[in-house]
Each structure stands twice: as C-alpha cells, then as structure tokens.
Amino acid sequence: MKKILLSTLNARYIHASLGLRYLKANMGELGENTSIREYDINMRPIDIAESLLAQNPAILGFGVYIWNVEETTRVLRLLKQISPEIILVVGGPEVSYEYDSQEIVTLADYLITGNADLAFHALCEQILSGESRPAKIIQAGEIHPDRIRFPYQEYTDQDIANRIIYVEASRGCPFKCEFCLSALDKTAQAFPLDSFLDEMRILYDRGVRHFKFVDRTFNLKVESSKRIMEFFLERLDEDLYLHFELIPDHLPEKLKTVISRFPEHSLQFEIGIQTLNPRVQELISRKQDHEKMKNNLDWLHRHSHAHTHADLIIGLPGEDINSFARGFNELVAMSPDEIQVGILKRLRGTPIIRHTVEYDLRFNPSPPYNILSTRDIDFPTMQRLSRFARYWDMIINSGRFPHSKELILATRPFENFLALSDWIYQKTGKTHAIALERLFRLVFAGMTEALALDKENVRAGLLNDFDRTGIRRPVEFLLDDNTSEHAKVKSFRKRQQRH
C-alpha cells in the first residue's frame, strides 16, 4: 500500500495540529498507511522537504494557515522540483477562499476547501484506485459533527508530555462578526456530548492536564458547558488547567455557580470584546450587550479565580485613535487579567472587505495581511499603534512588571502607555530582541522621563518586579543612590536567597 503523509508547519513546536489529527482519524482503511509529520515555521524549507521525502510518500497533504503559507509554499516549490511524481494536496483556512491567484494552489495537485475531515479520505481512495482523475478543486460540504470520528487517540504520549492539547466540543459560530472566518458559518454544531466526555476521560487518564478548547462559543449552550465543567471539577487536581473562549454577554447564574467552584490557576477565559464603540460594532455585524458584558467581566474579576484574557482589535472600520483609546481605558477599568491588543487582519473570505472603499481600508498584501491604514487612522499612526501592541505584550502582558503596571495604568492608561511606547521606540528603534535587563532600564527611564512619574516610586516598583526575575546580579540603577555598592550587593543577595 502506498504511503500517505499529513503535514503542516506550526508556529512553534509546542502547538499540535488538531486538524491533521482529524484527517488521520477519519482515514478508514487507509489509516494504517497514513502518518503525521509536523514541523515549525522556523525550520529551513529544504530540511523539511528532505524529512518528508525520506518517508517516500505517494500522497502528501498540507494544512495551510495564515502563519505558514509563505513557508509552506517554499516547501512545495522544492518538492515539485525534486519529486514531481508525489501528489500534493493542500487545504485549510488560508486556501479555502480566494484561491485562484495563490501560488501554493498552482503548485498543488489538489485543493480541498472547507472541512476536509472526510473529503481527504475520499480523495485519497479515488487517487489510489486509479479509476478516474478527480477535479483539482474539491469543495467539501458541511459535515455534522456526529459523522466525524474523534481525533484524540492520534495524540501521542510525546504530544501529551510536551505540547498543548487542543479539543473541541462544538464547531462553528452563529455570530457574523465580519473580521472572522466564523462569520461564514451557518450556526454552531455540537459533538455528541457523552461521547466527547468519554474522549476527555481517556485523555485525562493518559495524563493530559492542560485542555485548550477551540470552540468559538463555548458558553453558547449553557447546559452543555455546565456538564463539561462539572466533568473536570470531578477530576480537579493542582495541575488541571482549562482554556475556554466565552461569549462576553452570556453568563447565566447556573454557569457562574460552576465557575466559582474552580480554584486559582485552573481556568482561563478568552473573551472577545474587539471594540467598545457601538457604531463600529454595528458596522461589523457584531451584536454585544454592553451592560451585560461589563457586569460579567466585573463578576469574573470579583467572584471567580479565572484568569480573564480580553481581546481588542486596532483598525476596525469607523474607529479612530480616540475611539480606540476610550474603549481601551474603559476595558482597563473592568480589570481583566490580560488585554490582548490585536491588529485587524484581512482573512481571506471574510466579509470585512465590503468596507474597503468607504473606509479606505488598506491591508498588507503579504501575510498576515495586517491593516496598514484606514480612513480614520493613517499609516504613521497605525505603526505607532502596532508598536503599542508589541510593547504592551512585552511589558504588561508578560507578567514581569506587575508593580510598575499599577503605576503606568493608574490614570489615562492608553495615553500613558502610548507615550511610553513612543519613547522606547525613539530610544531603540526596535520592537523585538530587547534583552530583559535592558528592558528594565528602558521602562525605568521611560516612566521617569516620558511619563514624569516619581523616581523613587518607580524605582521601588521596578525593584520588586526585578526580584521576581531570578537574575542574580544587582542592577545599580534600581537601587537607592545613597546606598553603598557593598550594601547594595549584600541586600540584593539576601533578597535572592529569600526568593
């Protein structure tokens, strides 16, 4: 029997492709001759090609995403040059829409658009039978989840020991937010719950303790959500960690009751706010009850131990910098544990393009197709905001500066952090590869110079933050100017021993 390989390039090794495992689990009688080979985008394409060709495959299927399309295209170019007889099949979100002009589709022998869980098996059967040559473009129809075999047995023991384990209790989304590919879904469909929980039990018994749910709307059907969370409460131990994506304005009491039973460090909720401007929400077809959302975030902050991760998007049509600043400051006041500041991307197939002319949306023509400017935010300002988002991750979301964070965000959070961001970039010209000790120096100088904060308060906060890093040598600029060098070193060593 000829060998079939399934492959993709993950963003990092720690990620494990759920999509490939679905394909493998649904290969039927071809499953014994189907293998998975995963790589990451930092590997050289020629090394990936060599590794794949060493398996001597007859058919090679690739999962293509916004983060790997350029690198995967390079791999396919090499494969076509070295072994043109291998059948190359591509699929995934990045090639499911607007594929006519994509080089990677031209290089491939076949393209499967949409959910390929069953279509890839059918294509391989047709190719291997040699009866007839299928059409190059195969549009996979909708599949109800109860027709699909679960993929979780395809996670190896090595995956469980070293990688994030992705699971899903449902597919699709009933909402129509225009920046998201889920806007094209008709609705959300759930997998059979009893069978799904059986699979979760097996994973748990195999040692999985970090479950990352990829459901777009985990709390859409509250009874199902409640049962899933109660299932894990019955198996609660100190290592269990669950990640869910929540609809922000839908948190009924019965779900709150279950959430409140989870201890600290066991729950993370990703909460898509995206924008707090009602006009912009209307423009992008996003329905959200502002008061309910605000009350739910407040309840999570006050009455649960869940880590809350709220998302905002820069560059939506109709939103200028002042509107974004107001929404950002309002969200900071709601006290989520983390705010993820994202830049709008034009995912292929999403309806956001209908605003291109009216709002003068200009996107990067290369992945990740990030917004470059709009009618309301020019290119230089968008660059400032992109740096704001990068430094926000580096300083605030990193968790390395909790005491300094309180000082920076005490008043006018957006304005203060934008000033700090502008100052750091002016001094360094960099948004990446800044060593940790240098970053502490920059934050200290930026807070005292750009924000004009009290030097001793800044010093005390940063010294507390620096103690958490575990770095063993003293950093002179953080210590009291009147303290002798000998005393500085002795004091610092005592703190390190205590920590």
pLDDT at 37: 98
| Spatial distance between the Cα atoms of 443 and 417, rounded to a whole number of angstroms | 11
Q: Which of 79, 39, 77 is nearest to 60 (CA)?
A: 79
**Kind of pairing, strands 137-139 and 87-91?**
unpaired
Are 453 and 447 in contact by the 8 Å Cβ rule? The answer is yes
Are 13 and 39 in contact by the 8 Å Cβ rule? The answer is no
Burial 442-467, CB ≥16 within 10 A → b, else e: bbbebbbebbebeeeebbbbbbebbb
| Spatial distance between the Cα atoms of 420 and 428, rounded to a whole number of angstroms | 12
Are 379 and 370 in contact by the 8 Å Cβ rule? The answer is no
Residue 499: pLDDT over 50: no
pLDDT at 180: 95
**In CATH, 164-377 is 3.80.30.20:** yes
Domain spans of the chain, in order of start: 4-145, 164-377, 401-499
pLDDT digits (tens, 9 = 90+) for 90-130: 999 999 999 999 999 999 999 999 999 999 999 999 999 98
Class of the domain covering 4-145: alpha beta
pLDDT at 468: 84
pLDDT digits (tens, 9 = 90+) for 293-351: 999 999 999 999 999 999 999 999 999 999 999 999 999 999 999 999 999 999 999 99
Does the pTM of the predicted model rise above 0.85?
yes
Mean pLDDT of the chain: 93
Residue 9: pLDDT over 80: yes
pLDDT digits (tens, 9 = 90+) for 460-480: 999 999 888 877 765 677 776
Are 268 and 241 in contact by the 8 Å Cβ rule? The answer is yes
- How many angstroms from the chain centroid is the CA of residue 389? 14
Q: Which of 137, 155, 141, 145 is nearest to 21 (CA)?
A: 155
- 3-class secondary-structure state, position 6: strand
